[in-house]
Amino acid sequence: MRSFNYKNQYKNLLSADIVALLSQIHEYKGRQTLFATAKHGALTNMLEIAKIQSTEASNKIEGIVTTSERLKQLVREKTMPETRSEKEIAGYRDVLSTIRESYNYIPPRPSMILQLHRDLYKYSGASIGGNYKSSDNVIAEEHDDGTRTIRFEPVPAWETPEIMNQLCDAFETAINDSEMDPLLIIPMFVLDFLCIHPFNDGNGRMSRLLTLLLLFRAGYDVGKYISVEKLIADSKETYYEVLQEGAFAWHESKNDFAPFVRYMLGVVVAAYREFESRAALIVDSDFSKLDRVREVIKGRIGPITKSEIMKECLDISQITVQRALADLLKNGLIVKLGGGRYTKYVWNYEKE
C-alpha cells in the first residue's frame, strides 16, 4: 500500500522557482488582508461573482452544465434544480457555501470528507453520495473515435477506507509542523487524494472543494473573491498534464509532486493578481460601470465576447454593457470581429 511522508517529499520541493512563488503569495496575502479589511463592503459583489464562477467552472470541467441564466438563479437560490446536471450544480453550490462560511469547523478528516461528498449529491438522491467507491475505478481519457486510454489506476476499492485514514493522518502531522509551509503541503494532499480516487463519482469536484477548504484554513482566502476553479478550468489542459506527471510511479511512492505543486502555486498567484486588479476597479470611485467594461476588454489578451464580459461584470446589466461597447466602438478604442452570435471585441492598442 502507498505510504505518505510529506516531510521527506517537502525537501524536494524547495527549488528556486517554487520558493519564488511562495514569496509572491506571502506578499499578496498581506496586501489582500489589509485591503479586504479596509474595503470589506465594497468587495461584497466579488464574493457573489466568485461563487457563481466557481460553481460553473468546477462542474463544467466534468461536463455538468446548464444555461448561464439558470446557473445564476441556482447559485442565488432563486429556483429549484430540474435536470440531473442542475441537481449536481445545486449540490456543489451548497458544499461551496458550507466551506466558505464554516471552514474553521471542517477539519480534513475522512468523516468530514464523506459528509461533504454526501451533500454534493443530496439533490440527486444518488446512493453514492457520502460513500467510498464500491468497485475499482480507473482514470481514463476519452478519444474522439470513442476509444479510451487508461491514464491511471487508482487504489482498489477495498483499500480506500484505510488509505484515506492514512492520508488525513499524514496531512495533519505535516500541517502542524511549523517548519513546513501549508502552501506546499496542500497540493501534495490534493494530488494524493486524486490518485486514491476514493469515490465512484465526484472526485474532481471534491478535490477542488478540498483545495479551497485547506487554503482557507491556512489563511489564504483569495478563493472567496476570485474563482480558483475558473482559473483551473481556463488552464485545463495544463492541469491534466501536471496531474499525469505527478501520478507517475505514485503507487511505489516515487512520484514527483513538483509539477503539480508548481502549477497550483501559479494558480494561487494568478488569483491574487486578479484580486488586486478587480478590487482596484470596484473600490475606485472614479471608475464607472462603463469604465469597468472598458478595463475588462483592455485587460484581456486577445478577443472577448459580450457574454464573457458579462461574466466578468455580473452586477452590470446587459443594456449597460451594450452601451459601453457602442461607445468604445464609436471612439475607435475597440475593434469588432465577426458578427451575430460570434461577435467578439479586441482592444485597439494602435488608438492609444
* Per-residue pLDDT tens over the stretch 187-218: 999 999 999 999 999 999 999 999 999 999 99
Are 246 and 255 spatial neighbours (Cβ–Cβ below 8 Å)?
yes
- Closest C-alpha to 329, from 302, 347, 352: 347
Evaluate if residue 297 carries a pLDDT over 90.
Answer: no
Residue 209 cell numbers, joined: 472543494
pLDDT-above-90 percentage for the chain: 69
β-strand partners of 140: 150
DSSP 62: T
Give the architecture (CATH level 2) of 287-351: Orthogonal Bundle (1.10)
Superfamily of domain 6-282: Fido-like domain (1.10.3290.10)
Q: Does residue 268 register a pLDDT over 90?
A: yes
pLDDT at 30: 87
pLDDT beyond 60 at 286: no
Cβ count within 10 A of residue 301:
7
Q: What is the pLDDT of residue 40?
A: 62
* Alpha-carbon gap, residue 2 to 114, rounded angstroms: 21
**pLDDT surpasses 70 at 42:** no
Q: pLDDT (tens digit, 9 = 90+) per residue, 54-71?
A: 999 999 999 999 998 899
What is the chain's mean pLDDT, rounded? 91
* Residue 148 phi, psi (nearest 5): -130, 145
Q: What is the pLDDT of residue 309?
A: 87
- pLDDT at residue 287 in the model: 67
Q: What angle do CA 302, 306, 309 make, to 5 degrees?
A: 70
> Which range is least confidently modeled, 124-133, 156-165, 253-262?
124-133
Statement: residue 284 has pLDDT above 70: no
For residue 167, what are the contacts with CB-CB under 8 A and spacing of at least 6? 4, 189, 192, 193, 196
Q: List, for residues 6-26, the tens digit of each pLDDT value.
A: 999 999 999 999 999 999 999
Amino acid 238 reads: T
Structure pTM? 0.84
**d(C-alpha 213, C-alpha 221), whole Å:** 9
In terms of Cα–Cα distance, which of 216, 227, 214 is closest to 314?
227
Confidence of residue 267 (pLDDT cuts 50, 70, 90): very high
Q: Where are the domains of the chain?
A: 6-282, 287-351
Q: pLDDT tens across 134-177, in order?
A: 999 988 777 777 777 788 899 999 999 999 999 999 999 999 99
Residue-level pLDDT at 278: 79
